[in-house]
Amino acid sequence: MKSALLVIDMQKAFWDIEVAEAFKDVPGKAARLLAGARKAGVEVIHLRVQFKADRSDWPPNFMSHLGPLEGNEGVKVLPFAVEEVGEKVFIKNSFDGFASTPLEAYLRERGIGMLYACGFVTSICVNLTCATAHQKGFKTVLVEDCCGDYSLERHNFTLDTYKVISFRAKPLDEVLIEMGAS
């Protein structure tokens, strides 16, 4: 079965001092994951959130005045997650990577049935994207040590709560072996 790696919202808006401290291993591990996927021939797909400053494309009830707004620093990709030439990038204006992008059609067109996921924020965009992937029939693995959240407690709660419902959670080293990249 063909597989792909979804790199979800690895953007400056989600990498503040507290997150960087709580998830200090994520940059190195995410870089290893991307390198391993590329080496193994697993397609790397980047999902990035970006909202208009005028709020015209904000989800209902979304009240943040910060974050990944068009033209601000928050939309910038973190250095360890920059796409390589030829890798697909989808810009989304939703917490779920399937809701406002042609991601599903793209995956089906390419015959991809297995998804690995990493990124920010575990409890929001990563979880919602994985849940939708599962509901649409994709086998989904969340690379648990290549994600981050606003706190370690929220990250762990999400993994513990949803790992049997929306995704399987596996550590990086296990995923690299599964991909054939180790």
Per-residue pLDDT tens over the stretch 49-100: 887 766 665 565 555 555 666 667 778 899 999 999 999 999 988 889 999 8
Specify the CATH number for the domain of residue 50: 3.40.50.850
CA pair distance 43, 75, nearest whole angstrom = 23
pLDDT of residue 69: 60
Stated pTM of the model? 0.92
Q: How confident is the model at residue 109 (pLDDT cuts 50, 70, 90)?
A: very high
Residue 91 belongs to what domain range? 2-179
Return the pLDDT at 176.
97
Quick check: 49 and 128 in contact, CB under 8 A? no
Q: What phi, psi does 76 have (nearest 5°)?
A: -65, 140
Number of domains in the chain: 1
Beta partners for 117? 6, 142
**Average pLDDT for 158-168:** 92
